[in-house]
Structure 1
Amino acid sequence: MNINSLEKHFARMGARIKTVRHEPVQSRWGWNSRAFTGNFSVDVRQDRQGEHFVFNVSTLVEDRLDLEILQVAPKDRHLLLLVKDFENLHNPTKDRFLCGHDEREWFVAAVPGAVSTVVSAMESLKPPKVQMVQGRKGLNQKQRNKRRNKAFRRQGEWFFVPVPNADIDESLILHNEPIARSGGKPHMVEFLYRQGGQTLYVSSNRPDGLFENDYKKLILKKPKAKNWNWSTRRINPRVYARGEVRHPDHKTITLHEWHEVLMNQENQSRTMQHVAFID
């Protein structure tokens, strides 16, 4: 695994990276890497010198990994990392990571698709609707890379696309509502409205939740289940935001009209399993 060259490539964009090897320990269930699951991961950590990237790797698989920097963009403080896993010698798995600096912090994002440049990685992380709107607005590449342009506002992994004529039920507007991907620090939205989606019934007895039809079937079959302290959630609704959007790692943005809220495409990538960093 050619990890020695990583430091100089990360240094070109002003970052540090450390490699942490996880030795396996033997138990009656076999060999496992202590306090580390999976074969490898990319993370952002803090030490006395500040933030730095970390490449975690199990020594059980270290020799079969190949690391390659596809591109470094020093001016933008971004680079694209490719990790090949030769578990299958003739058909290695390939995982791409966009590493860079966004506003105040370093970040790492799992990149969907077989991209080879920083710009194409950034584009692949945009939701289809964002790509459609920026195309319709005729934005050039420089404009598309900005956090604020005619097509959208962006804060971290969240995109906000203007919807001037949004049909909003004022009585259902939520105040100071969090939005967050699983495991992430929430972004607090001053005014939030959810529309449509599916109702999910959740309780300690059914932590993964039941959709409405399954919930009704359960209650018919087992009436006492109605007393399981259920709460309801909405799955895949359309979400709209207005007002201030705050997050400790990002500059507060203000949306003066309703915007549709869309998350980046990171969760569409199988590489997400190798990202330890969560914004």
Structure 2
Amino acid sequence: MGNFEVLERRFAEANLRVEVIERGIHRVSSWTAGANASDVFQMTILGKGREEYFRILPGARTNRIEAEGIDRDRRQLVLLVQEPVRTFEERIPRHGTQVDRTKVKVIREDQRSLWIERRTDARKRHFLCGRDERQLFICQLPRAVTMVKQAHEVLRAPEVVRSKGNVARQGEWFFVEPTEAEMEALAAALRGFRTIVRRKTPIGRGGHPHVADELVAVPATLVGKRTVAPAVFARGRVRHVDHETVCLQSWAKVVRNTEPVAQDGIARMDGVSWID
């Protein structure tokens, strides 16, 4: 049994469908280009709703791609990816994308797209893949783990782990019961007109953002003799097309999970088709 067949079997063990396309027969994604593009590992999610499935282009045969820990009940697995450094081009849409040209090399551009230079990471990378509520997802992990349970643990931000109150989650966002000092800072900031409550406001950036009924960003605030760090709070319903609605009866602190944030100057959009 070849490596591709093993990968397909491992996904099937997690009750997930995957299509693995060999390098010799696949056409390089329209979002990647350059001499090394066909050697680069690529992965996306295709289909809609319950008909969704993963598509993997493993790239060069020297790339290491292994499905490690599997949780069939959750329909999730941990995927290990390791490949050497390769330079390639990635096409990104102009609309909804911010590019810091001091950090990113733009090779060419037109009215709709930018082509930027990218390099693969030679370090081992681990991804949590599977189904979360309604749809499939791919999430890069902040550090190496082999089991799905461990993956969920390392994605919990320190504030979530330390919290002794109620915690809700919707996708990559956690909603944590604030401390007494944080509630005092929120009240002081509103009372002093240092912030305002925004309604029907997106949380973070992305093509399909999470939208809160009420959202307020509180700057660093002095409470007694202590400065409380800046924070964002949400209240009411939080909606997202891919997740069940979260209902927050009172103010909750908004905390993102620990998935690595790109350092290449690009504000990545939710729903980007390919990861490298």
TM > 0.5 fold call: yes
Q: Contact (CA 8 Å) 1:125, 1:264: kept in 2 or not?
A: yes
Q: Distance in 1 between matches of 2:70 and 2:58?
A: 22
> Shift in Å at residue 276 of structure 1?
9.5
Change (3 A) 1:187 1:277: closer
Q: Distance in 1 between matches of 2:10 and 2:41?
A: 19
Q: Contact (CA 8 Å) 2:50, 2:135: kept in 1 or not?
A: no
Find out whether 1:31 has 2:29 as its counterpart. Answer: no
Aligned to 2:137: 107
Aligned to 2:200: 176
Where in structure 2 are there 5+ consecutive unaligned residues? Answer: 87-120, 221-228
Q: Contact (CA 8 Å) 2:82, 2:125: kept in 1 or not?
A: yes
Find out whether 1:132 has 2:162 as its counterpart. Answer: yes
Change (3 A) 1:263 1:48: closer
Q: Contact (CA 8 Å) 1:111, 1:269: kept in 2 or not?
A: no
Identity %: 33
1:189 is matched by which residue type in structure 2? A
> Shift in Å at residue 110 of structure 1?
0.2
> Shift in Å at residue 41 of structure 1?
2.7
Q: Give RMSD over aligned pairs.
A: 3.4
**Could you give the per-residue CA deviations for residues 229-277 of structure 1, whole angstroms, max 9, x where no partner exists?**
xxxxxxx95110000000111111110010010111112588xx9x997
Q: Distance in 2 between matches of 1:13 and 1:45?
A: 18
Secondary structure of the residue that 2:3 maps to in structure 1? coil
Aligned to 2:214: 191
> Shift in Å at residue 39 of structure 1?
1.9
Q: Contact (CA 8 Å) 2:19, 2:54: kept in 1 or not?
A: yes
Q: Distance in 1 between matches of 2:28 and 2:144?
A: 32
Aligned to 1:4: 5
Q: Distance in 1 between matches of 2:175 and 2:135?
A: 20
Equivalent of residue 156 in structure 1, options 149, 153, 171: 171
> Shift in Å at residue 132 of structure 1?
1.6
Q: Contact (CA 8 Å) 2:141, 2:260: kept in 1 or not?
A: no
Aligned to 1:50: 51
Q: Contact (CA 8 Å) 2:41, 2:63: kept in 1 or not?
A: no
Change (3 A) 1:49 1:188: closer
> Shift in Å at residue 154 of structure 1?
0.2
Farther-moved stretch of structure 1 (158-167 vs 106-115): 158-167
Higher CA-based Rg: 1
* Count of matched residue pairs: 211
Change (3 A) 1:277 1:192: closer
Aligned to 1:122: 152
Secondary structure of the residue that 1:178 maps to in structure 2? strand
Q: Distance in 2 between matches of 1:276 and 1:188?
A: 15
Change (3 A) 1:152 1:184: farther
1:1-279 correspondence runs (5 A): 2-20=3-21, 21=23, 31=35, 33=37, 39-46=40-47, 50-58=51-59, 62-86=60-84, 93-133=123-163, 137=164, 150-163=165-178, 165=180, 166=183, 167-168=186-187, 169=190, 172-181=196-205, 183-196=206-219, 237-268=230-261, 278=271
Where in structure 1 are there 5+ consecutive unaligned residues? Answer: 138-149, 198-235
Q: TM-score, normalised by structure 1?
A: 0.65
Q: Greater share of strand residues, 1 or 2?
A: 1
Q: Contact (CA 8 Å) 1:42, 1:276: kept in 2 or not?
A: no
Change (3 A) 1:77 1:49: closer
Secondary structure of the residue that 1:265 maps to in structure 2? coil
2:213 is matched by which residue type in structure 1? E
Q: Greater share of helix residues, 1 or 2?
A: 1
Secondary structure of the residue that 2:74 maps to in structure 1? coil
Q: Distance in 2 between matches of 1:277 and 1:97?
A: 16
Farther-moved stretch of structure 1 (15-24 vs 150-159): 15-24
Secondary structure of the residue that 1:31 maps to in structure 2? coil
> Shift in Å at residue 69 of structure 1?
1.7
Q: TM-score, normalised by structure 2?
A: 0.66
Aligned to 2:89: none
Q: Distance in 2 between matches of 1:69 and 1:8?
A: 9
Q: Contact (CA 8 Å) 1:41, 1:276: kept in 2 or not?
A: no
Change (3 A) 1:41 1:187: same
